[in-house]
Chains A and B, each alone.
Chain A
Amino acid sequence: MRFIIIFTTILFSLFWTEPLYSEMTGGNYEIYGDVFSFVDTSYSTSTDYGIYDSGGEFFATSTSGGTYELRGGFQALEKGFLSFSISSSSLNLGTLSTTAVANSSLNANISTDSETGYSLTVVEDGNLRSGANDIDDVLDGTVSVGDEEYGIRTSGTDGLLSSDTAMDGTITVASASGQVTSRNTEVIFSAVIDTGSIAGSYSHVVTFTATVNP
C-alpha cells in the first residue's frame, strides 16, 4: 500500500506542470489597448498590459538558430501621448537683398510622456525656387552677405542646428531622449542673395514631422 502511494505520487509529480503565465512587460514600457477603438476583437488584460486578440495569437518559437515562426493575429497599442503644435503655416522672408540677410521664424512645441523621447524633422519639397532658378543652399554654416545662401538653424533646449544648415534631405531639427513638457524649439529660416542672383518669385514648401523615437 505504501509502495502504491509513493509510486503514484512520483508519477503524478513527473507529469504535473504549472500553468504558464506569459507576461509582456518591459523595464520602460507598457503594452496597452485603448477602448476608443471599434475594432471588433476581444480584449485581454492583466496587471501590466492589454492585448487585442484578433482571432489568432502571437506565437514565436525558435525553429533554428536566429529564426522563429510568427503567427498572425496579434495587435497591441502602446500607452502614452504626443502633442505637437506649430506657430505658422507659412513664412515670408520678404524681398531678398544683397546687403542684408532676411530672417523669418516659427516655433514648434512638443510634449510627450514617451520614455524614448521624440524627434522633429523637416524636409523640403525642393529648393527655394522660382522656375528653374533656385537659392543656393548654405555650405559654410553661416548665411551671410556676399553669397547667395539659404538655410535654417534652431534655438531652444532640444534644437540641434546651432549653425545655418541646408535642408538637404530629411533634417532632424530637434529631439529629446525622454519625456518633455511644452518643449519649444524656434526654427529660423535665413536667406540672402548676391549680384548674380536672378530676379523672381521664390517659394517652396517645408514639412515638419513629429513622432516619438522608435
Chain B
Amino acid sequence: MKKTITILLFIFFLFFPQDIFALSIFPLRQTVVINPGESSQVELLVKNEKDETVEILPEVDAFTIDGQSGAAIFGVDDVAVSWINLSNESLVLEPGEDSGFVFSVQVPANAEPGTHYLGLFAKTIPSEGQIGVGSRVGSLLFLHVAGTIKEQLIRQDFSSDERIYFSKPVELKLKLENVGTTHVVPEGRIIVKNLFGDVVDDMAINPNKRKVVPHTSWHGEYTIESLDLKDLGPNKIQLVLNYGMTNQVITESISFWYLPTWVILSILGVFLTVIVLVMLLRHKQ
C-alpha cells in the first residue's frame, strides 16, 4: 500500500510540477518625493505563496519604458540605484509568511531635480544547472528629486506614408520624445477632415495612457480606413495633444490627397469618351 502511494505521489509530481518560487508583492507602484540632501525609506512587502520555505534577496534595478509596448525594461543605467541602501541582506520566509524589505534612499545634496525610475525586487538565487533560472518580482518606484521640474515633449514625427493615396488605408505615424526631467502621459486626438470640413475619422492618442519617461520616445501608428467618395481630394489631419501637470499642448496639421484609382480611371474614361464623340461629330459634319 505504501509503495502504491509513493508511486502515485511520484507520478503526481512528475506530471504536475510544483512551483519552486511563488511570491506576492505589494505595493505595485509607489511614489516618493525627496529634497536633495535628504533621505526617506521605501518598502517592499513580500509573501511566500508556496508551501515550502524560501530565501529571497533584495535588489534594486533601474528601468525605462519601451516606447511601443509600454513595458518596463530593466537593466538601464541610473545613478539613483547607488542612492539606495538595503537594511537587511536576505529574508527566509516560511510557507504563507509575509515580511518586508526596507530600502533607504539618500539623495545627494547636489542631485538635479527630476524623476528616477527604479524597481524594488525580491529575488531568488538560481540553482546550478545547464541553464540556471533566477527570478525576481518587484514594485515600481517613481523617485522624484524635489526642485524645478520640466515637462517637455518634442514632436519628432507626425506624417503619413504618402502625400497622394490611390487607395485606402492611409497610414500615419506619430513619434514624441521626452526631453523634460519627468515622465508625462500624452493624450489627445487625431482628427481627419475632408474638403467640406466633415470629420472623416477621429482617433484617440494613447488611450492606454502609457507613460513617456525622460530621454525616451513614444510611438503611435494610426490607420484611416473610413474614406469614401465624399472624401475625394484634399484631406486635413489635425493633431491636438496635451500632457503634463502644466498642461502643455502640441498641435500640428498635415494633409493628403485621396484619389482612388477607379475614380481616376472613370474620369479618364469619360474624358476620352467625350473626345471621341466630339471627333466623330466633327467628322460627320
Residues of A in contact with B (beta carbons under 8 Å apart): 28, 31-32, 34, 36-37, 39, 54, 56, 58, 60, 62-63, 65-94, 104, 106-107, 109, 112, 114, 116, 119, 121, 123, 128, 170, 172, 175, 177, 189, 202-214
Contact = CB atoms under 8 A, between A and B. Distances in A.
Contacts of A87: 17-20
Nearest to A212: B28
A107 B16 CA distance: 11
Interface in B131-170: 131-140, 144, 146-152
Taking residues whose C-beta sits less than 8 angstroms from the other chain, chain B's interface range is 35 or more
B35 A209 contact: no
Which of A32, A128, A210 lies at the interface centre, i.e. has the most chain B CB atoms within 10 A of its CB?
Answer: A210
B72 A88 contact: no
B89 interface: no
B84 to A, nearest CB: 15
13 contacts: A39-B43, A56-B35, A60-B149, A72-B38, A77-B30, A83-B23, A89-B125, A89-B127, A89-B132, A92-B129, A175-B71, A206-B126, A209-B138
B135 to A, nearest CB: 5
B132 A205 contact: yes
A202 B130 CA distance: 7
Contacts of B17: 87-88, 107
Interface of B: 17-35, 38, 40-43, 45, 49-50, 61, 63, 65-66, 69-75, 100, 113, 117, 119, 121, 123-140, 144, 146-152, 180, 183, 208-211, 213, 244-246, 248
Contacts of B73: 121, 170, 172
Main SS at interface, chain B: strand
A31 B28 CA distance: 11
B75 to A, nearest CB: 6
Contacts of A36: 43, 45, 100
B27 A209 contact: no
A170 B28 contact: no
Contact of A73 (B33, B42, B149, B208): B33
Nearest to B181: A67
Given A66-B180, A75-B30, A89-B134, 8 more contacts: A39-B43, A66-B152, A70-B147, A71-B146, A80-B28, A85-B23, A206-B133, A208-B136
B131 A72 contact: no
